[in-house]
Structure 1
């Protein structure tokens, strides 16, 4: 898994975070991304405004 700030660097108190993960099946990817969202949602100092997911497979 990898995470990085990918946008809104110039805005005060706002960050856009990108997370990427690779797995053998979509269910495992979903589990990892769910855990990332829960981690952020549980932090009182963080307000999660939105989440967007895009799954890409080797057949795309």
Structure 2
């Protein structure tokens, strides 16, 4: 079994409150979950209104599938016009590591 994850550090556009932040971040998280069948959540910068951290995790039988899903998820987030992707860190592990 292979486990992969992504950590996105995101700069939000013209967001002036935590409520507005949620209205930008929640649809991104929901789309990641729906489109790629991954676990996704807001994981960082919870108290800042112009920054967000989003974590994504996927489990599959082979490393190639995990890498393919993570690549597609990163592309989806990077293509969102209302945000700026500052960084994306990723990891890939085999379950017996």
Bigger RCO (CA 8 Å, 6+ sep)? 2
The alignment's C-alpha RMSD in Å is 0.8
Is 1:44 matched up with 2:81?
Answer: yes
What TM-score do you get using the length of structure 1 for normalisation?
Answer: 0.91
What TM-score do you get using the length of structure 2 for normalisation?
Answer: 0.59
Partners of 2:80 and 2:89 lie apart in 1 by: 19
Consecutive unaligned residues of structure 2, counting only runs of 5 or more, are 1-37
- CA displacement at 1:28 relative to structure 2: 0.4
Structure ranking higher in helix proportion? 2
Q: After TM superposition, which residue ranges in structure 1, 4 or more long, deviate above 6 angstroms?
A: none
Structure ranking higher in strand proportion? 2
Q: Partner residue of 1:9? A: 46
Larger Rg: 2
